[in-house]
Copies of this chain bind each other. A is one copy, B any other.
Amino acid sequence: MRAGPSQEEVRRHNLGTLLRYVHVHGATSRAELTNRLGLNRSTIGALTADLTTAGLVSEAAPRETGRAGRPSLVVRPESSRVYAYALSIEVDRLRAARVGLGGRILDRRETDRPRGMQVLDAVQPLAEFVRELRAGVPDDDTRHVGTGVAVAGMVRRADGMVRLAPTIGWVEEPVGAALRAELGDVGRLTLGNHADVSALVEHSRGAAAGCDNVIYLFGDVGVGAGIIADGRRVAGHGGYGGEVGHMVVNPYGRECSCGSRGCWETEIGEYALLKHAGRGDRSGREAVLGVVDAAMRGDSQAQFAVRQVGEWLGFGVGNLVNIFNPEAVIFGGTLRDIYLVAAAQIRSRLNAIALPACREHIRLRTPELGNDAALIGAAELAFEHLLEDPLLT
Chain A interface residues toward B at CB < 8 A = 1-5, 7, 9-11, 13-14, 17, 20-21, 36-39, 43, 154, 156, 163-164, 211-213, 227, 229-230, 232, 234-244, 246-252, 258-260, 315, 318-320, 322-327, 352-358, 360-361
Contact = CB atoms under 8 A, between A and B. Distances in A.
Contacts of A318: 248, 260
A248 B361 contact: no
B246 A249 contact: no
Contacts of A239: 325
Output the residue of A10, A227, A244 with the most chain B CB within 10 A: A10
A160 B49 CA distance: 48
A233 to B, nearest CB: 8
Contacts of A39: 3
24 contacts: A2-B17, A3-B13, A3-B14, A3-B37, A3-B38, A4-B11, A211-B237, A213-B236, A229-B236, A230-B234, A232-B232, A234-B323, A234-B324, A236-B326, A238-B360, A240-B325, A241-B325, A243-B325, A246-B322, A246-B353, A247-B319, A248-B318, A258-B355, A260-B318
A164 B357 contact: yes
A355 B243 contact: yes
Nearest to A39: B3
Given A17-B1, A246-B322, A322-B246, A238 B37 contact: no
Given A232-B230, A251-B315, A2 B37 contact: yes
Nearest to A4: B10
Work out how many copies of this chain go into the complex: 2
A230 B230 CA distance: 11
Which of A11, A21, A258, A324 has most B Cβ within 10 Å?
A324
Contact of A248 (B4, B5, B43, B319): B319
Among A243, A323, A353, max chain B CB count under 10 A is at A323
Contact of A249 (B4, B251, B327): B251
Given A250-B251, A252-B252, A326 B4 contact: no
A392 to B, nearest CB: 16
Given A243-B322, A323-B247, A164 B4 contact: no
A320 B320 CA distance: 10
A211 to B, nearest CB: 8
Contacts of A4: 5, 9-11, 13-14, 17
Which among A244, A322, A327 has the highest number of chain B CB atoms within 10 Å? A322
